[in-house]
Amino acid sequence: MPANSAVIPINNFLLCASASEMNCIVSLSAEFEDGRVVSAIPTGVVSKWDSRDYEQNIRTYAATEWKIQGLKNSSGTDTVVTQMWMQKPNTIGNQTDFGALDFTIFASLFDSTQDELSPDLCKAMKVIGDCKYPPQFTQKVRFTTVFNSNLLEPGLTTGSVENVTYTSKDIEGGKQFTIAGNAMEIPVNLPVEANTGPGDFTQALANRTYWHLYTIDRRNTSFDWGNGKSCSPDNPIISSNAAYAGFPEFDKQTQEIKLKVSSPHLKADGKTLEVGQFRATISLAGIACLWGINSSAISPQANVNVTYDDGSSSVAVLTSRVVNKTFSIQATGYHYSSPTIRLNLTEPTKSDLSKKITISCVKGKIAKKVSGVNPTCPAGYKKK
């Protein structure tokens, strides 16, 4: 071990041994496009490994393998792997850093038949470790994960997942959380040597599906989204399909959520433009905290700006809706490589109100009404 390195203790969330156990996963399920919901069955396989960060500190990670009937990944396997972990609270003096929850669902961590890149390309890129594409999901599946924790108080969630829902309820000894969402297709650029950055690639090496969320605790010292008020933004969820994304920020002066992203300009075929996707899901209570808008009475007006380092801008196609006291915004149609995305919410004008419509959405016997400008039905629902 290098002289200045340290072992960083973390909590790995594996399968709960009982319903009352904390900091563990209760269940995993998958909903297919035809409406089938299949409960995942743990295979009993748990993988553990050590990893070093850029400061050479060591963390020991663990992941759980699950079998899902009807699933078929790129290698033909019907398994997925959940890797969920949270750094243990670190107290320095009178201040405690509560860390964050990191959660990834892999198509298969134990897939030995991954596609290997050209050896010449691997050498040219100075790739660290195995020079292979990650396995991927080949079906549109919505995963739902239930887990218990007495460590986490969500402040903000970011990552690469579509149509995310994130709920919690109090249970004895802590909280039970439910996270659901679909994997996103993102461009793949393999990791290169330290200090060289992601590289300046005109096109992606591959386009692969990916499921990853990162939740920072609202008590974390680096989290300051309260807008100088005694309120909480109530865990906004910010996601994109970029290969690389910074941490979302809230600019208190301009009242904007800002996200810096970078990604190859072209898909792996070298011809098709990579179309950007940005999604934000914010509770009505969070909107009241950040913007002071009483959106329980009226839906806010969303404004999304996509600007580049050279001062140019791109037009994004915007859709929004309010469902279950939550406001969801999707912006798409812009292109990469390194734009900054800015989201601002305002009270709608009379002209804005005239553009809002309400649609009916159904899922089996369940019906919901969705209002907004160009509203869309939630995942799994169809327009009536």
Q: Is the pLDDT of residue 178 over 70?
A: yes
Q: Cα(360)–Cα(137) distance, rounded to whole angstroms?
A: 31
Q: How confident is the model at residue 160 (pLDDT cuts 50, 70, 90)?
A: very high
Q: Say which residue, 30 or 4, is predicted with more confidence.
A: 30
What number is the average pLDDT over the span 349-366?
Answer: 67
For the ranges 5-14, 200-209, 305-314, which has the lowest average pLDDT?
Answer: 200-209
For the ranges 55-69, 138-152, 286-300, which has the lowest average pLDDT?
Answer: 286-300
Q: What is the pTM of this model?
A: 0.81
Q: Cα(47)–Cα(210) distance, rounded to whole angstroms?
A: 20
pLDDT of residue 193: 42
pLDDT tens digit sequence for 358-381: 777 877 767 777 766 667 777 677
Structure tokens given for 247: 């941490």
Average pLDDT of the chain to the nearest whole number: 82
Pick the CATH number of 235-353 from 3.30.70, 2.60.120, 1.20.120, 2.60.40: 2.60.40
Q: Is the pLDDT of residue 86 over 80?
A: yes
* Backbone phi, psi, residue 122, to 5°: -60, -45
pLDDT tens digit sequence for 250-272: 988 899 999 999 988 888 888 89
CA distances in angstroms from 10 to 87, 246, 247, 361, 371, listed in the order given: 4, 23, 21, 42, 43
CA distances in angstroms from 323 to 12, 279, 358, 367, listed in the order given: 33, 15, 11, 12
For the chain, what are the domain ranges? 1-223, 235-353
* CA distance from start to end of the chain: 62
Q: Is the pLDDT of residue 299 over 70?
A: yes
What number is the average pLDDT over the span 278-292?
Answer: 92
Q: Is the pLDDT of residue 326 over 80?
A: yes
Q: How confident is the model at residue 116 (pLDDT cuts 50, 70, 90)?
A: low
Going by DSSP bridges, is the β-strand pair 237-240/154-171 parallel, antiparallel, or unpaired?
A: parallel
pLDDT tens digit sequence for 186-208: 887 654 443 344 444 578 877 88
pLDDT tens digit sequence for 330-343: 999 998 988 999 99
**Spatial contact of 296 and 347, defined as CB atoms under 8 Å apart:** no
Task: Please give the distance of CA 363 from its chain centroid, rounded to a whole number.
Answer: 24
Q: How confident is the model at residue 275 (pLDDT cuts 50, 70, 90)?
A: very high
Q: Is the pLDDT of residue 113 over 50?
A: no
Q: Say which residue, 53 or 278, is predicted with more confidence.
A: 278
Q: How confident is the model at residue 183 (pLDDT cuts 50, 70, 90)?
A: very high
pLDDT of residue 355: 60
Q: Is the pLDDT of residue 169 over 50?
A: yes
* Backbone phi, psi, residue 289, to 5°: -70, -50
Q: Cα(34)–Cα(141) distance, rounded to whole angstroms?
A: 10
